Structure 1
């Protein structure tokens, strides 16, 4: 399901929220999908995915390593 381009909320925030939702519902466990997988799933650019990852990392919810491991929600 694509993100809402007409929404006033930035795409990277929408993606960050989707990732958090999927973790809470058990869709993602241990690590999030790759940048490429998220780009393809949500029809967004790599920079949007990286902004979402950076936001999750700043909040302490994602460990920024090759595996993009989830820390907590």
Structure 2
């Protein structure tokens, strides 16, 4: 834990580098991470007898221009 008073500065730097690397990996492979999280959500929903519904989507996005006011 980085909040431990006895932590060595080098250990702290290594922990920060490890966390940064993990976050960068997740960021670079967001599709894979999303698929994994969705599968986990499906498993959880199955165990709790819950149905996952897709959010309502709009076929065409209409952009409202502020200059029209």
Q: Do they superpose with TM above 0.5?
A: no
* Greater fraction of residues in strand: 1
Structure whose CA Rg is larger? 2
Structure with the bigger RCO (C-alpha within 8 Å, sep 6+) is 1
* Greater fraction of residues in helix: 2
TM-score (norm 1): 0.30
